[in-house]
Amino acid sequence: MNEQDKIFMQAAIELAQRAAENGEVPVGAVVVKEGEIIGRGSNAPIGLQDPSAHAEILAMRDAAKNIGNYRLVDCTLYVTLEPCAMCSGAIQHARIANLIYGASDPKTGACGSVINLMTEEKLNHHTKVKSGVLAEESGQILSDFFKQRRLNKKPIQ
């Protein structure tokens, strides 16, 4: 793991913390192009009443708006949690070159944990994937969030 990966993943972790403060599952994401963050997102399906408002989707929407193109060629997406199938499909559709994620998701991870859409030969774009960057920190935010939910006996809406 290089220093740049740590810096950008830390930015995603800060966005995950913001999601937790808003009562959302704490996942954060940033899109980087040429060493600069061009898109940011934190989970917001509850607040936005939008099942597609995952951190990755919101970060890619922000990036696409900022560069004026839905194709995010030569971009890297940093996200604190392994993307689900929906987000993996959007990542490929956007032509993201590299995906770097923190914690693996053994329940819905679509980049190797449950299935691996990134290596599916039938698909026409293949994003390079690196996992485990600041995985402990990324996972701890999720663990703390769900522990607090259980203590408060408050289900996710």
Nearest one of 119, 81, 123, 86 to 102, comparing CA atoms: 81
pLDDT at 114: 97
Q: Tell me: pLDDT of 91 over 70.
A: yes
Quick: pLDDT tens for 28-59.
Answer: 999 999 999 999 999 999 999 999 999 999 99
> Which residues are paired to 116 by β-bridges?
111
- How far is residue 83's CA from residue 102's CA, in Å, rounded to a whole number? 10
- Residue 90 reports pLDDT greater than 80: yes
Residues 98-157 have pLDDT tens digits of 999 999 999 999 999 999 999 999 988 899 999 999 999 999 999 999 998 888 876 666
Give the separation between CA 86 and CA 14, rounded to whole angstroms: 23
Q: Taking Cα atoms as reference points, which of 93, 144, 139, 90 lies closest to residue 113?
A: 139
**56 is annotated as an active-site residue:** yes
Distance CA 136, CA 117 (A): 24
Of 21, 56, 136, 137, the active-site residue reads: 56
